[in-house]
Amino acid sequence: MNTAQIQRPVVLVTGSGGLIGSRIVPELRKSYTVVGMDLHPPEQKAADVDHWIQVDLIEDESVAEALSELRANHGDHLASVVHLAAYYDFSGKESPLYDELTIQGTRRLIQNLHPMHVEQFQFTSSLLVMKSVAVGQCLTEQSPTAAEWAYPQSKLATEKLLREEHGDIPVLILRIAGVYDDAGHSLPISNQIQRIYEKQMESYFFPGDENCGQSFIHLDDLTQSIVAAVDRRNQLPNFKTLLIGEEDVMSYEQLQDAIGQHLHGKDWPTIRIPATMAKAGAWIKQKMASCEEEEPFIKPWMVDLADQNYPINATEAKQCLGWTPNHSLRETLPRILERLKENPIEFYQVNHLGSLEPSEPKGMNS
């Protein structure tokens, strides 16, 4: 480590080896000394941190030892802590890790940081903690919350914990929209693409309002928002919540039609069906899936969320961070779909969509 690196402000990134962390670290390293903490070492040397420390956030002793190593090597002053580490499972199943890792892991971290001088603690929450709004309305930072399943419930509980226990450490809550990039890397988007590409029966039916939609955010824009928040850490309030996402939101119908047009040359017809029928179909398909088959993405509990509507007004984030998204899902979607058409097998692997027979790409026969 050279003298210039030692003199630069130190930023701690938890979950530094994950999808978001691995994109943030190289950008932060342009101006900061970055210490990464994660359960497993980073895989890509090119995106490596200046100093990596192993930590298991569900263990008190591990967190204490990790922070002790941090202080021994970099002192007691941190410019920012970018806290990305959390538990996430799209199956909707309850898991003790939502409490042990996301909630209590954050408690262990913030408590062990209290003896240090920390200029900022960033917590990456989720837009899903918020209450859905009617079509034509937009979410703001003042909108009510209503987390409806395990993942957003754990995020909302962690926000409450930080409000109660942050002490003198300034906290920034980023409620982040659905993340994607040019390769996909979004479970809802990639699975919707798969259903239309394969012409699955489920792709023609929808139990909610087709005019509803959800804000998304390109991974590159999310990265820039987090870096901007670190840069402006001393200009932000002691406790602040910001919505991070694109204001241009594609409705479910628009997304269906755009995917269908690009893959099959025509708008994709969508028939609205009763929620009870959709739940029954999802339950039956899940029960019929054998051990050898991939588990169906659509679960019965998702049907209840089909009418959720999450467009946002991102004015506060733009003003506080001096940041504006440079991408939109509407403009990026063709690039995502071209990757699928150019190399379906790789697309399925990257987006964890299960197997695809190389000899006959699915969905391309009329």
Write down the pLDDT at residue 253. 87
Q: CA-CA distance, 57 to 109, in Å (whole number)? A: 8
**pLDDT tens digits for the chain (366 residues)?**
444 445 799 999 999 999 999 999 999 999 999 999 999 987 765 458 999 999 999 999 999 999 999 999 999 999 999 999 999 886 667 899 999 999 999 999 999 999 999 999 999 999 999 999 999 999 999 999 999 889 999 999 999 999 999 999 999 999 999 999 999 999 989 999 998 999 988 777 765 678 889 999 999 999 999 999 999 999 999 999 999 999 999 998 899 899 999 999 988 877 654 445 443 444 445 555 544 455 554 444 444 556 789 999 999 999 999 999 999 999 999 999 999 999 999 999 999 998 875 444 444 433
Write down the pLDDT at residue 317. 98
Output the CA–CA distances (angstroms, integers) from residue 239 to 160, 176, 244, in the order listed.
12, 17, 16
Cβ neighbours, 10 Å, residue 219: 20
Give me the helices (H) in the chain, please: 3-7, 19-28, 60-74, 97, 104-113, 150-165, 187-197, 219-231, 252-264, 275-288, 300-303, 315-321, 329-342, 344-350
Write down the pLDDT at residue 284. 45
Residues 87 and 95 sit within 8 Å (Cβ to Cβ): yes
Q: Where does residue 322 fall: left (phi above 0), alpha (psi -120 to 50 degrees), or beta otherwise?
A: left
Give 258's contacts (C-beta < 8 A, 6+ positions apart).
Answer: 250, 330, 333
For the domain bounded by 3-181+215-244, which CATH number is listed?
3.40.50.720
Give 134's contacts (C-beta < 8 A, 6+ positions apart).
Answer: 309
Maximum C-alpha span of the chain: 65
Q: Which two tokens stand for residue 53?
A: 């420390």
Cβ neighbours, 10 Å, residue 330: 15
Chain length of the chain: 366
Write down the pLDDT at residue 2. 47
- DSSP letter string, 102-141: IIHHHHHHHHHHTTSEES-EEEEEEGGGBPP--TT--B-T
All structural domains of the chain with their residue ranges: 3-181+215-244, 187-213+250-310+330-350
Write down the pLDDT at residue 87. 95
Which parts of 40-101 are beta strand (E)? 51-54, 77-78, 80-83
Give 121's contacts (C-beta < 8 A, 6+ positions apart).
Answer: 80, 81, 83, 110, 113, 162, 166, 169, 170, 171, 172
